[in-house]
């Protein structure tokens, strides 16, 4: 038996079919990156219109690829928050409509739980206790996972999220939106020691993050830089990335130590970052920690992770009322 999952919290419209055990059968993403790039960021009104244009076709495609019809689905899931209200409404309305038409349950999924559990997909399950780092466009969180739905917040960012730090610095130096992947690419050709950007560890034992100082440091550096020089841009990128990566890696190891936990996971769009993945592998091996990373195509927004989270919840009998509203600020941990 399978369920259909939809994701439309921001600027990607996505649909997936997965089994009730959480195995991914088919998955499609219609990204709007090229559309929003001309504005330098996501325009909510434009995003929701494009979700409307894409969602139905995506549903048809993932069902066809799975060789199934809406009637075969055991449940219909969609992201209900956090995200842009007008975007969230498209996915949830579609999932609810299908649930009503087929007289099957609706499952509202927290987008951040989707990210959080994604490292346990693709054969890495079952979900088990760990210390999890979520690094995305809007969030940077360290979470202690006791089991599905049993989460404890260890620390989060006081200002910018890690992805936001990548994106804002990238914008300052004239790179395309979203800047994270651009900085990742440029970094491979740059010297991470070219600039000594601040690493904000706060007090040594804090599990909170702060990335706004990095932005300011880059801003002060700008007038002295020739950004038309490819090597300068690559060196700057590598140095910015190294500063962000070092803090993320060290705080994750610190959190695991403080909790006495041997398994750590990392998810969210920034966990695609090649420098971060390499640094995590090396550091965790040295610290004797087992590391689970989300598969690169499951790091940024996708419906597969929403289906996986829905399947975990559904297997314990959890469903959502059709009256369940979307919530732009839906918390992962109350």
The stretch among 122-130, 146-154, 284-292, 294-302 that binds Fe ion (CB under 5 A) is 294-302
User: Does 138 help bind ligand ATP (rule: CB under 6 A)?
Assistant: yes
* Residues 83, 81: Cα–Cα separation, whole Å: 5
Measured from the CB atom, the residue of 49 and 171 that comes closer to ligand ATP is 171
The nearest distance, CB 71 to ligand ATP, in angstroms, is: 31
The C-alpha atoms of residue 179 and residue 172 are separated, in whole angstroms, by: 10
- 51 near 13, Cβ under 8 Å? yes
- Quick one: tokens of 194? 């070219």
Site pattern 134..163 for Fe ion (x: CB under 5 A): --x---------------------------
| 164 contributes a contact to Mg ion by CB under 5 A | no
**111 contributes a contact to ligand ATP by CB under 6 A:** yes
**Peptide bond between residue 50 and the one before it cis (omega within 30 degrees of 0):** no
Only one of the segments 66-74, 84-92, 131-139, 313-321 lies at the binding site for ligand ATP (rule: CB under 6 A); that segment is 131-139
3-class DSSP assignment, residue 145: strand
Considering the complex, state which of residue 163 and residue 190 has its C-beta at the smaller distance from ligand ATP. Answer: 163
Instruction: Give the contacts of 7 (CB within 8 A, at least 6 positions apart).
Output: 13, 14, 15, 16, 78, 79, 91, 111, 114, 301, 302, 303, 305, 306
Residue number with CB closer to ligand ATP (98 or 266): 266
H-type helices in 158-273, by residue range? 162-172, 179-187, 212-221, 230-259
CA neighbours closer than 13 Å in the CB half-sphere of residue 153: 14
Apex 167 CA angle, 162 and 172, nearest 5: 125
Looking at residues 168 to 227 of the shown chain, list those that interact with ligand ATP (rule: CB under 6 A).
178-181, 184
- Please check whether residue 13 is in contact with residue 52, taking contact to mean a CB–CB distance below 8 angstroms: no
> CA-CA distance, 171 to 182, in Å (whole number)?
10
By CB under 5 A, name the one of 11, 12, 235, 301 that touches Fe ion: 301
Whether 49 and 86 have beta carbons less than 8 Å apart is answered as no
Sign of CA dihedral 238, 241, 246, 249: negative
As annotated, the binding site for substrate includes 134-138, 167, 180, 184, 273
Pick the binder of ligand ATP from 92, 110, 300, 312 (CB under 6 A).
300
Tell me the binding residues. Answer: 111, 115, 134-138, 167, 180, 184, 273, 301
Contacting range for Mg ion; rule: CB under 5 A; set: 7-15, 139-147, 259-267, 311-319: 7-15
Residue of closest CB approach to ligand ATP: 269
x/- contact string, 242-281, with Mg ion (CB under 5 A)? ----------------------------------------
Q: Does 279 bind ligand ATP (CB under 6 A)?
A: no
CA dist list (Å): 32 to 51, 69, 71, 178 = 9, 27, 30, 11
Encoded one letter per residue, x for contact with ligand ATP by CB under 6 A and - for no contact, window 238-277 reads ------------------------------xxx-xx----
Question: Which residues form the interface with ligand ATP (CB under 6 A)?
Answer: 10, 82-83, 111, 115, 136-139, 163, 166-167, 178-181, 184, 268-270, 272-273, 300-301
Sites of contact with Mg ion (CB under 5 A): 10, 301
């Amino acid at each position: 038996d399978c369920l259909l999952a939809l994701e439309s919290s921001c600027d990607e419209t996505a649909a997936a079919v997965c089994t009730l055990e959480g195995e991914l059968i088919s998955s499609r993403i219609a990204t709007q990156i090229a559309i929003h790039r001309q504005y330098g960021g996501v325009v909510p009104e434009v995003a929701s219109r494009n979700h409307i244009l894409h969602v139905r076709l995506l549903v048809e495609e993932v069902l066809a690829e799975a060789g199934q019809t809406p009637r075969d689905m055991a449940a219909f899931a969609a992201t209900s928050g956090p995200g842009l209200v007008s975007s969230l409404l498209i996915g949830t309305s579609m999932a609810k409509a299908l649930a009503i038409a087929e007289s099957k349950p609706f499952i509202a999924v927290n987008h951040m739980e989707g990210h959080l559990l994604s490292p346990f997909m693709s054969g890495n399950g079952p979900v088990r206790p760990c210390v999890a780092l979520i690094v995305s466009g809007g969030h940077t969180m360290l979470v202690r996972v006791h089991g599905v739905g049993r989460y404890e917040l260890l620390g989060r960012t006081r200002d910018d999220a890690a992805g936001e730090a990548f994106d804002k610095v990238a914008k300052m130096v004239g790179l395309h939106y979203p800047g994270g992947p651009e900085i990742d690419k440029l970094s491979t050709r740059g010297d991470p020691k070219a600039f000594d950007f601040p690493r904000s560890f706060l007090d040594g034992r804090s599990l909170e993050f702060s990335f706004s100082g990095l932005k300011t440091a880059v801003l002060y550096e700008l007038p002295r830089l020739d950004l038309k020089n490819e090597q300068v841009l690559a060196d700057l990128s590598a140095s910015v990335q190294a500063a962000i990566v070092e803090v993320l890696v060290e705080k994750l190891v610190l959190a695991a130590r403080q909790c006495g936990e041997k398994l750590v996971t990392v998810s969210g769009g920034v966990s695609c970052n090649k420098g971060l993945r390499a640094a995590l592998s090396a550091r965790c091996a040295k610290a004797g920690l087992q590391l689970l990373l989300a598969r690169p195509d499951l790091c940024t927004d996708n419906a597969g992770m929403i289906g996986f989270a829905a399947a975990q919840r559904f297997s314990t009998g959890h469903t959502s009322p059709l009256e369940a509203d979307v919530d732009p600020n839906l918390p992962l941990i109350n």
